[in-house]
Chains A and B, each alone.
Chain A
Amino acid sequence: GESVGLHLPTLSVQEGDNSIINCAYSNSASDYFIWYKQESGKGPQFIIDIRSNMDKRQGQRVTVLLNKTVKHLSLQIAATQPGDSAVYFCAESLKGGAQKLVFGQGTRLTINP
């Protein structure tokens, strides 16, 4: 499969547990944030997004939290499943859309049976 990062931070969790993936973003003027999931051999897949006027947004089994004071973003995945194993990237945008994104380094999530 594709090697998306040889020295990524890693997180291992037990199947069924909750996962929290953290990200520090770089620009205090960024106004739109996205979490992407990338599986081996595939392009990034949209998970959830949040705008800077919000501090929390929930989706199906996922929650994104935004702390603008410390420029921190987190992705919470509830009841993790084997299919959640992937590399997760946060991305920020200055232009309110997804046309020019600045990506974080990524976190490799491994689900243990």
Chain B
Amino acid sequence: KAGVTQTPRYLIKTRGQQVTLSCSPISGHRSVSWYQQTPGQGLQFLFEYFSETQRNKGNFPGRFSGRQFSNSRSEMNVSTLELGDSALYLCASSSRDRDTEAFFGQGTRLTVV
């Protein structure tokens, strides 16, 4: 059974650009959560999608957005990139509503220059 797949693994973008990251959950999983990981702030929750609906949202500006497709694949978008957006972006999937275990992908390392 394939794990959570995030693409691309690495990205370099320029300030002011936008970026789209992709997450394919484990087959059959319907919940996808996104996290930002930085040395200074650690792991912080961005948002969670379940059955194509955003169910939870963290404390990030509106430049951070996401969506989920009918096949449960999810994308997150960051517009007007800032240097501080450089981070490892992780997604996690779980199998059903209020499931207890979330499986993480390897992340996308975004560098903003």
Contact = CB atoms under 8 A, between A and B. Distances in A.
Contacts of B109: 2
Contact of A99 (B42, B43, B50): B50
B66 interface: no
A36 B102 CA distance: 10
Nearest to A103: B43
B39 interface: yes
A48 B103 CA distance: 13
B56 A98 contact: no
A80 B100 CA distance: 26
The B interface, classified by DSSP as helix, strand, loop or mixed, is strand
B65 interface: no
B106 A46 contact: no
B90 A106 contact: no
Which bracket fits the contact residues of B?
A: 20 to 34
A52 interface: no
Majority secondary structure of chain A interface residues (helix, strand, loop or mixed): loop
A43 B55 contact: no
A98 B106 contact: no
Q: How large is the interface on A (under 10, 10 to 19, 20 to 34, 35 or more residues)?
A: 20 to 34
Given A2-B88, A43-B104, A46-B101, A99 B55 contact: yes
B45 interface: yes
Interface string B56-94: 101000000000000000000000000000001010101
A81 interface: no
Contact of A46 (B4, B45, B56, B102): B102
B25 interface: no
B1 interface: no
